Amino acid sequence: MAKKLIVSLSPHVHSRDSVQKNMYGVCIALIPALLVSLYFFGVGAAVVLAASVISCVFFEWAIARFILRRESLTITDGSAVLTGLLLGFNLPSNLPVWIIVIGALVAIGVGKMTFGGLGCNPFNPALVGRVFLLISFPVQMTTWPLPGQTTAYLDAETGATPLSLMKMAIKNNDASVLQQMPDAIDLLVGQTGGCLGEVSALALLIGLAYMLARKIVTWHIPVSILLTVFVLSGLLHLSNPVYASPVTVLLTGGLMLGACFMATDYVTSPMTPKGQIIYGVCIGFLTVVIRTFGAYPEGMSFAILIMNAFTPLINTYCKPKRFGEVAKK
């Protein structure tokens, strides 16, 4: 069958962007956070990230080749590598490899390839894998190694994270628990326990600045998320000191990773600037609500997945007018 040239309706806009260029651009933006995680967690971080990336690339190749029987494979476009990195950043540095492989299978097989592959998935694949592991293996997923154990992996010493301390203070209605929290400098640099992607807010912000400078993402989603969380957590802190300060809330947990690298996913986020701001505000609101009143200390993953489901509705509401159409008065 002869290949046909399919031409869409005008206007035709040329761009030098490509899937491969943008995906590897985001991977480059994650390098500062990757180096910081290797510095604080050493062997554990290397094992988790390598197992996650290799597993994601393998499962995408295997599913496309043997199940979907596609002639052209997409493992070189960078999307599987990026999914592996983001999944790895959402895991503790002492997680066994077999659990990481299961998470990668769910992320690629269920979160991505089931819907047809890149561009068709309604939910962020890395978050699908992360939430599946959190529900299926809650003990392993909530056991956090302390930083500085660069040669330890499965036998690393564990401890409480800033998010767990914040949750304990709210649960016990005891503001003195917050005195055990690391100071803002440690939270900014990464001298805290948690997932690999929670260790350094500064490294993640450097990555965001790189993506903004290269126009890989726009400011609308990350800024709207962070500003919403800052305002809401600030109001809670003013009403009762048992709630952590807004600066502390911004620098703890997976908030920075989610706002900068996961909520900004092209496929699962709204297309228009107005829609992206609505999307970001809702994610910030849900994150604060889940962190404050929910069962889990962290709410970023759940908030993003919930708003992924609302993305088509937001796109419909914020649909731009057709080219050449006169706006109604």
Q: Is residue 76 part of a domain?
A: yes
- Tell me the average pLDDT across 293-319: 91
- Residue 202 covered by a domain: no
pLDDT above 90 covers what percent of the chain?
60
Quick check: is 107 in a domain? yes
Residue 79 lies in a domain: yes
Task: Using the 3D structure, point to which of 88, 112, 141 is the last residue of a domain.
Answer: 141
Joined tokens for residue 268? 């699962």
- Say yes or no: 181 and 283 in one domain: yes
Q: What is the pLDDT of residue 172?
A: 86
Question: Which whole number is the average pLDDT over 170-186?
Answer: 85
Residue 252 included in any domain: yes
48: buried, middle or exposed (CB in 10 Å: 19+, 13-18, 0-12)? Answer: buried
Pick the more confident residue, 147 or 225: 225
pLDDT tens digit sequence for 270-292: 999 999 999 999 999 999 999 99
Residue 118 lies inside a defined structural domain of this protein: yes
Average pLDDT value over all residues in the chain: 88
Reported as a pLDDT band with limits 50, 70 and 90, residue 1 is very low
Kindly state whether residues 73 and 169 are assigned to the same domain. Answer: no
- Give the pLDDT of residue 278: 96
0.85 cut: is pTM over it?
yes
Q: What confidence category does residue 82 fall into, taking pLDDT thresholds of 50, 70 and 90?
A: very high
pLDDT band at 261 (very low <50, low <70, confident <90, very high): very high
Does residue 25 have a pLDDT over 70?
yes
Same structural domain for residues 169 and 295?
yes
**Whether residues 93 and 132 fall in one domain:** yes
Give the per-residue pLDDT at 24.
92
Tell me, yes or no, whether 176 and 294 share the same domain: yes
Same domain flag for 177 and 289: yes
Residue-range definition of the domain harbouring residue 221: 162-185+215-317
299 shares a domain with 235: yes
Label residue 9 by pLDDT band (50, 70, 90).
Answer: very low
31, 178: one domain: no
pLDDT of residue 328: 58
So what's the pLDDT on residue 191? 73
279 and 178 both lie in a single domain? yes
Q: Is residue 1 domain-resident?
A: no
Q: Verify that 93 and 180 share a domain, yes or no.
A: no
Q: How many domains does the chain have?
A: 2
| Mean per-residue pLDDT, 309-322 | 87
Whether 88 and 170 map to the same domain: the answer is no
Taking only the tens place, the pLDDT of each residue in 27-52 is: 999 999 999 999 988 899 999 999 99
Same-domain pairing of 128 and 243? no
Average pLDDT over residues 263-269: 93
Q: For residue 205, tell me if it sits in a domain.
A: no
Q: Average pLDDT in the 290-299 region? A: 88
Confidence of residue 227 (pLDDT cuts 50, 70, 90): very high
Residue at which a domain ends, from 141, 175, 207: 141
